[in-house]
Chain A
Amino acid sequence: DVKVTQSSRYLVKRTGEKVFLECVQDMDHENMFWYRQDPGLGLRLIYFSYDVKMKEKGDIPEGYSVSREKKERFSLILESASTNQTSMYLCASSFGTGVVHEQFFGPGTRLTVL
């Protein structure tokens, strides 16, 4: 059974703070993804990674960075949190490239930036 875990379910931070959101998957998936979910906008892709130390920008990378030092772990970093980054953040993972595979999602982290 694939498991994707996220470090926190709820997080409250102040404007300007550096924020780390951690995601770990246990199925040896090559691909990992970070999305944010906002009402009326659905899931928007922030960053993704096809392999260790590799990263690709999604549709809304501004204000975010990522790190993938180990295959099972993908971190999303908010260098200086702002109120417009208040959102639900979802991490996902999937098997490798070539053929599209379903993504498995974590439970999400609801981040509030005050």
Chain B
Amino acid sequence: DQQVKQNSPSLSVQEGRISILNCDYTNSMFDYFLWYKKYPAEGPTFLISISSIKDKNEDGRFTVFLNKSAKHLSLHIVPSQPGDSAVYFCAASGGNNNDMRFGAGTRLTVKP
């Protein structure tokens, strides 16, 4: 039973436009959320995170929004660039542990 769900396996956007990747979670104990980016033949790399005490965190072109009541978070990339084409994983962690649960991933393609 997946506790973190990314319901869109793929997303295609035009260069310069906004990319919005979505993630839902079921476990109310989760209080820290992360996004990772993965290129083929490489391990995932950390992109941005948000604590449950916040509802928004921004880092350059990347913004993560958290809606605790809906158990939903989203990653916005503005403007999207071809180099952003990758698989994006949402992850969640809870309590004092550092173990995380990951979603299935969304493959983003940014077309020039």
Contacts and interface: CB of A to CB of B under 8 A. Distances in A.
- The answer to whether A and B interact is yes
B102 A35 contact: yes
Given A100-B98, A107-B41, A43 B46 contact: no
Interface residues of B, number: 27
Nearest to A40: B104
Interface string A42-85: 11110010100000101100000000000000000000000000
Contacts of A33: 99
Contacts of A58: 99
Interface residues of A, number: 31
A109 to B, nearest CB: 10
Contacts of A103: 46, 98, 100
B100 A42 contact: no
Given A97-B97, A102-B49, 5 more contacts: A42-B102, A105-B36, A105-B44, A107-B41, A108-B41
